Amino acid sequence: MPLIIPATQGILAIKISRLTDFPLGYAQLEKLPDGEKYVRISTDVEGEDVILVNSFAHNPDEMLIETLFLIKTLRDYDARSITGVFPYFPYSRQDGRLIRGEAFSLKIVADLLRSAGIDRMIVVDFHLHRLKDLNSFFGFEVKNLTAMHKIADFVRKNFEMKDPIVVAPDEEAVRWAKIVAEDLDLDYIYLQKMRIDAENVIIDSAPPDVSGRDVLIVDDMISTGGTVVQAVKALKKVNCGKVYVACTHAILAKDALKKMLECGVEGLVATDTVLSPISHVSVADIISDCLLSLDW
């Protein structure tokens, strides 16, 4: 039976353990006074299939170093296999080089994980754009799950909307908006976005067919909230009704939640891939189902 090791941001590990009946192990994780990470695996992992659970939200660089130390230590102490459950994965937006001299951040992270000795990775709603084959890119098996069906179910039960329509705030978000729209038997559209920098975007206009209709904005992640705020402004200009927002990963950097509420968002929902005030949907069951389906 596989053994689950929770890392610093491994709250999901407890939920997964309860759903799968896989036992929990223990890792001692500390941040030393000089900022370095101390890692010690306190459970005997020799010959074990280990499931390492961590989220890379909020402190991605620190969590990456911690995870690399854990993977390498598990390998050093002869774990039979190492499966990483990393529901929110960092640097996924840097999936290529747009400007000469840029670091190919995601490729560097992939190389580090592979070199450390990981065998398999499970992620949720990975921010794919240019990447078509995650297995080839990372060099090990990657299972990319989606939380959009669960989000759609939450919306159905909790958001009361009048003549609703699903809106992707940009073309990249269409693949997630489409899933939610199909589950709710609704139409979907997408807006045209131009990004200025990491925190600022421009959305010039919205289609007129949202007039008088409540709107559900769907995306994979909300970081600064800039895209949502601009989308709401564009939709309000063409007299939409109430605006609701749903995403998988609620990073909510700085005052993102406050900005979205101030611009008129009626309700928001996200998952527990990143713990936040709007994390009303858990992905523990879809991850557990995936783990139970594997050939250990």
Place of tokens 């909020």: 58
- Is the distance from CB of 180 to CB of 218 less than 8 angstroms? yes
- Distance, CA of 227 to CA of 131 (rounded, Å): 22
- Distance, CA of 188 to CA of 232 (rounded, Å): 15
Q: What's the Rg (C-alpha) of the chain? A: 20
Angle at CA of residue 217, ends 213 and 222, nearest 5°: 155
- Grouping H, G, I as helix, E, B as strand and the rest as coil, residue 51 is strand
- DSSP bridge pairs for 30: 38
Place of tokens 């036992």: 23
Retrieve residue 197's tokens: 């920098």
CB atoms within 10 A of CB 163: 10
- Is the distance from CB of 220 to CB of 248 less than 8 angstroms? yes
Q: What is the DSSP letter of 34?
A: T
Annotated catalytic residue 193: yes
**Marked catalytic residue, from 157, 162, 193, 237:** 193
Retrieve residue 99's tokens: 């400007």
Instruction: Catalogue the active-site residues.
Output: 193
